[in-house]
Amino acid sequence: MAAIGSLKIIDQNVLATEAMIEYVRADSDELISDKETTPDPFYQDHFRRTKEAICRAFEGLKRRALVVGVGAAQDIPLEELAMTFDKVRLVDIDLRYIRKAIELLPEELQGKFELEEADICGFLAELSQKAEELIAEKVAYREFVKRILDLLPTLRKEKYAYQENEYDFVCSALVGSQIGGVVFGYLDAISKRAYGVPFVPPERKDHEIARFMNNIQIDHLKELFQLTRPDGRVYFADHYSLKKVVFLRGDMETSTEELERIPLPGAQEVQAAAQQIFCVLSKEYWNWGLPTDEWIEKKLRAHKFIVYKISSFVFSRH
């Protein structure tokens, strides 16, 4: 275990190939710059609501906490976690932004954190090595797609240090749906680079892919369960549907006109699995509005938004 000042950095496995890491970093950069550059209050409102919900979820708990997919922690109450728990383990595949966020905290709280660079789906190293071997062998595009689809259900999971502990509080905020997104985003990126076209499986495979994506999210929930002490709690939030709306400035909840409603993949299966795995202590919903570049009517300031419905849960193991 290495230490920078009082902050502990957990020893790392080989996470994935350089191309995979490059993809993940570019994806985070885009996400973070979107969040930082948008002046829109709905971003800030969503962050505030998430932080408040997380603080309520860990009320009365102490000792060890774990946050997976911590990203830049814009939606994670770092100070409150550090003041409540003896140790707070923060895990992400990309630690660049969380290091900066921790440097901004009071020095006496910084020593409470342990940072771990880890892949929470566990198979990105094997997937990226094998995918890039196929490209190096110069297999044709169709063969590449076929061999990757055959590979996906066979991937084995690496173990990481964070899995060796049990935690009083475990937090996963908007991470479950992101894990599968990283897998297919990376496949798209390397396919474009090697073949000039994105990674597009044949339509008859849609069902298999949907099952694979759902299983990633359900495995994530099962892992959260296993990481939690029997008397501990889990905070879990994700988005399962989105709406396209026209929004006239004012109150987002009341002054919008709905254009289209789209369920996101896994919406029903993953939420049903969550309720089977855990006991639901509480749930809340709110809207997270992301401004698009499209103006419906500039003079009226009618702006087209994508609105994610955030589902926010507190679970216990029984």
Ligand X SMILES: C[S@@+](CC[C@H](N)C(=O)[O-])C[C@H]1O[C@@H](n2cnc3c(N)ncnc32)[C@H](O)[C@@H]1O
| Residue ranges that bind ligand X, judged by CB under 6 A | 24, 28, 69-76, 92-94, 119-121, 124, 173-175, 178-179, 182
Min dist. Cβ of residue 158 to ligand X (A): 11
The residue among 70 and 234 lying less far from ligand X, judged by its C-beta, is: 70
Min dist. Cβ of residue 276 to ligand X (A): 23
What is the dihedral sign for C-alpha 71, 77, 78, 81? negative
Min dist. Cβ of residue 204 to ligand X (A): 28
The residue among 160 and 256 lying less far from ligand X, judged by its C-beta, is: 160
Q: What is the DSSP letter of 14?
A: -
Q: Which residue is nearest to ligand X (CB)?
A: 71
Min dist. Cβ of residue 43 to ligand X (A): 11
In terms of Cα–Cα distance, which of 120, 21, 137 is closest to 66? 120
Min dist. Cβ of residue 176 to ligand X (A): 9
Per-position DSSP letters for 49-97, written without gaps between them = HHHHHHHHHTTT--SEEEEES-TT-TTS-HHHHHHH-SEEEEEES--HH
The residue among 246 and 310 lying less far from ligand X, judged by its C-beta, is: 310
The residue among 76 and 267 lying less far from ligand X, judged by its C-beta, is: 76
Of how many residues is the chain composed? Answer: 318
User: What's the CA angle centered on 213, arms 76 and 234, to 5 degrees?
Assistant: 35
The residue among 92 and 168 lying less far from ligand X, judged by its C-beta, is: 92
* 84 burial level (CB within 10 Å; 0-12, 13-18, 19+): buried
> Contact 63/112 with Cβ under 8 angstroms?
no
